Chain A
């Protein structure tokens, strides 16, 4: 029972508290990250389509290129960010004399992405329903200020705000898994593990909330 990734979702302490050899393999985390990458690619496809609609008519001619570029970027960046999160956790944990391989940290980080896959699937469904109904006004030219203003207005759309909120909720869930995972992957106390994960995740949430324009 404790070996199931589903157990990890509700009781990460038991899941990662086992012998690390039972979970440090990267096969399952990689599969989780692949799923995350596919969902992120689909979300990127939808949002790029929306952004393309605000572009001037001559730019909209390249909508196909924009969609491919946006989707491919999301796929690649998901794997890149996996490594970045793991690296950040690894480096911060050094301050607490953390031990354990980077491979284990990478595995923990990958497992922790599972809640975000679920959250992103919900966001994807929300965007799928809401985006076609959003009325956008194309910008008149390539003025960066105008594009920024229109994009900001777009981001304030309730559906996009809600998708962002869903992302934060499921990131908190992921952070909870990461804390217990890092604790065992790097041999830290629960408090140090919480700090190791809490600092970057907290900063990321602040940045996300700022980007959503909640403070503006």
Chain B
């Protein structure tokens, strides 16, 4: 009999534990009908908004004295609900609390406590998950990174977090290269989803390239970066032009630089043009000399004509050309000359004139001899 009484008490006690959280059996019955944390999972130092919905499922109205949220690892930044609030039977009240955490990854609880006038107290524990795992960035690089040559970099952004990451942008940073596009927008990534972006990079010199991924967890901005060394090998298959056999001569009212332009590179040079720069003013007939295509190991004669003020004795010859991919190259070579010698040349009679003079001498001599024989 005694044993049966103990078992009965236990059954009753267990039965009481299974009853939903209520203020009391009769009168008002307050229950937490819903709660939501935004963002669903906090990262360290994040601010979130916890929304709790309280429903009176009883038959009597109740008056709430206060509704508080408390936590240890999760700090509640404001508890604004300290005034009396009536809640009728079947009604629902919504309470929002800003929360923040500095905790390490884990599952923590905040306690929602409602004190109401009808003599009851509601306590309800709400779980809050903290996970500071950032977005993952994977960069697929081209097989060969060559100076001055385009290469495609594939940036893959993955979301290993248990909740959505929003407003995701990828921004390349660094110097010593040209890159397109300058940034790219991904938007929202669901958990375990990924997205990839292609960037075209032309390395100009040895440097670093950093891909910065900006994203948001709720209202909190976060950044993930990955930095890669940019160590381009010298492009061994570019055209390379050299000027040889340079001669500077004087023409009628202009100076002329002539010589050979040779392709000492391993690929053809296209759209090769030469002109003078610096203080020289290009002049007709060859303001710009167009050499066209020059195959590797071949050369072409060129000449450029220009005028230059008296003190100038050095003039740069500017060479512009492109490779097969259309990448533009520019080079220059300073050409030095002696203006006095050139001035002398400019006024020096040509061989034709000298020959003409000698012919005149012969003609006049012949005339004189002829007239004397006649006389």
Q: Which residues of B contact A84 (CB under 8 A)?
A: none
- The residue in chain B whose Cβ has the minimal distance to the Cβ of A12 is B371
Q: Which of A14, A129, A135 has a CB less than 8 Å from the CB of B374? A: A14
Shortest CB distance B311–A (Å) = 12
- Interface segment among A172-180, A199-207, A208-216: the answer is A172-180
Q: Are A169 and B339 in contact (CB under 8 A)?
A: no
Bound Cα distance A117, B367 (Å): 17
Per-residue interface assignment for chain B, residues 236 to 255, with 1 indicating a CB less than 8 Å from any chain A CB and 0 otherwise: 00000000000000101100
Q: Which of B344, B353, B357, B371 has a CB less than 8 Å from the CB of A10? A: B371
Known: A126-B353, A165-B357. A172 touches B347 (CB 8 A): no
Shortest CB distance A153–B (Å) = 11
Shortest CB distance A119–B (Å) = 8
Q: Are A13 and B368 in contact (CB under 8 A)?
A: no
- Interface segment among A64-72, A104-112, A155-163: the answer is A155-163
Q: Which residues of B contact A57 (CB under 8 A)?
A: none
- The residue in chain B whose Cβ has the minimal distance to the Cβ of A175 is B368
Q: Which of B347, B361, B367 has a CB less than 8 Å from the CB of A159? A: B347
Q: Which of A13, A158, A159, A172 has a CB less than 8 Å from the CB of B364? A: A172
Known: A133-B343, A135-B343, A158-B344. A10 touches B367 (CB 8 A): yes
**Within 8 Å of chain A (Cβ to Cβ): is B119?**
no
Q: Which of A134, A162, A176 has a CB less than 8 Å from the CB of B368? A: A176
Per-residue interface assignment for chain B, residues 48 to 85, with 1 indicating a CB less than 8 Å from any chain A CB and 0 otherwise: 00000000000000000000000000000000000000
Bound Cα distance A159, B252 (Å): 13
Known: A157-B347, A173-B368. A166 touches B374 (CB 8 A): no
- The residue in chain A whose Cβ has the minimal distance to the Cβ of B366 is A10
Bound Cα distance A9, B361 (Å): 15
Q: Are B371 and A13 in contact (CB under 8 A)?
A: yes
Q: Which residues of B contact A133 (CB under 8 A)?
A: 250, 252-253, 343, 346-347
Q: Are A180 and B348 in contact (CB under 8 A)?
A: no
Known: A130-B349, A134-B343, A158-B344. A169 touches B371 (CB 8 A): no
Per-residue interface assignment for chain A, residues 124 to 138, with 1 indicating a CB less than 8 Å from any chain B CB and 0 otherwise: 001001101111000
Bound Cα distance A165, B361 (Å): 10
- The residue in chain B whose Cβ has the minimal distance to the Cβ of A160 is B347
Bound Cα distance A139, B368 (Å): 44
- The residue in chain A whose Cβ has the minimal distance to the Cβ of B364 is A173
* B interface residues, tally (CB under 8 Å): 25
Bound Cα distance A211, B80 (Å): 116
Bound Cα distance A16, B14 (Å): 162
Per-residue interface assignment for chain A, residues 1 to 41, with 1 indicating a CB less than 8 Å from any chain B CB and 0 otherwise: 00000000111111000000000000000000000000000
Q: Which residues of A contact B364 (CB under 8 A)?
A: 115, 169-170, 172-173
Per-residue interface assignment for chain A, residues 170 to 195, with 1 indicating a CB less than 8 Å from any chain B CB and 0 otherwise: 10110010001000000000100000
- The residue in chain B whose Cβ has the minimal distance to the Cβ of A9 is B367
Question: How many inter-chain residue pairs (CB < 8 Å) link A and B?
Answer: 66
Q: Which residues of B contact A12 (CB under 8 A)?
A: 371
- The residue in chain A whose Cβ has the minimal distance to the Cβ of B339 is A135
Bound Cα distance A172, B343 (Å): 32
Shortest CB distance B338–A (Å) = 12
Bound Cα distance A130, B191 (Å): 86
Shortest CB distance B361–A (Å) = 6
Q: Are A180 and B343 in contact (CB under 8 A)?
A: no
Known: A166-B357, A173-B364. A134 touches B347 (CB 8 A): yes
Q: Which residues of B contact A157 (CB under 8 A)?
A: 347
Q: Are A169 and B347 in contact (CB under 8 A)?
A: no
Q: Are B357 and A11 in contact (CB under 8 A)?
A: no
Shortest CB distance B253–A (Å) = 7
**Within 8 Å of chain A (Cβ to Cβ): is B360?**
yes
Shortest CB distance B342–A (Å) = 9
Q: Which residues of A contact B253 (CB under 8 A)?
A: 132-133
Q: Are A162 and B339 in contact (CB under 8 A)?
A: no
Contact residues of B with A, CB < 8 Å?
A: 250, 252-253, 310, 339-340, 343-344, 346-349, 353-354, 357, 360-361, 364, 367-368, 370-372, 374-375
Contact residues of A with B, CB < 8 Å?
A: 9-14, 115, 122, 126, 129-130, 132-135, 157-159, 162, 165-166, 169-170, 172-173, 176, 180, 190
Q: List 15 A-B contacts (CB under 8 A).
A: A14-B374, A129-B252, A133-B252, A133-B346, A134-B346, A135-B339, A135-B340, A135-B343, A135-B346, A158-B347, A158-B348, A162-B354, A170-B364, A173-B367, A176-B367
Known: A133-B252, A133-B346, A157-B347. 8 other contacts (CB 8 A): A115-B364, A130-B347, A134-B347, A135-B343, A135-B346, A158-B348, A166-B360, A169-B357
